[in-house]
Amino acid sequence: MTASTLKRFLVLYLVPPDVLASWAKTDPATKKAAEQKMQSDWQCWMGDHAKMITFTEAAGKTKAVTSAGIGDIKNNVMLYSIVEAENHDIAAKAFADHPHLTIPQSSIEVMEVRSIGPR
């Protein structure tokens, strides 16, 4: 399949805010070792899947916009990626062994991105 016929997917890396808050209280030495291992595992995974990853970025502070107004909120989104794959199953299966899933209560959501108008 050529790059122009590949489908695009939004990948959300999720972790509950209370898990991150608990992690922030972890012993610094324990935390440093675990973070170094995660970074190493993550880089290895990214290297193995580099052809499908368009980009990955961290999600920051969140504001909810509703008809009642705008306010600060916390959600589970930690990072996001845009990936390209032949189909949804292939895209999702690529993340089955992702290092992010070693974080307690974490998950990864993969959803197809479809154009809503002419390109």
Domain locations along the chain: 3-113
How many helices (DSSP H) and strands (DSSP E) are in the chain? 3, 6
**What is the Cα–Cα distance from 32 to 40, expressed in whole angstroms?**
12
Query: Coil, helix or strand for 43?
Result: helix
pTM (two decimals)? 0.89
So what's the pLDDT on residue 63? 97
**Tens digit of pLDDT for each residue in 60-72?**
999 999 999 999 9
So what's the pLDDT on residue 116? 84
So what's the pLDDT on residue 38? 94
So what's the pLDDT on residue 115? 84
CATH class of 3-113: alpha beta
So what's the pLDDT on residue 111? 98
**What is the Cα–Cα distance from 66 to 71, expressed in whole angstroms?**
9
Residue ranges of the chain whose pLDDT lies below 70: 1-4, 119
So what's the pLDDT on residue 5? 86
So what's the pLDDT on residue 98? 97
So what's the pLDDT on residue 65? 98
So what's the pLDDT on residue 119? 60
So what's the pLDDT on residue 69? 98
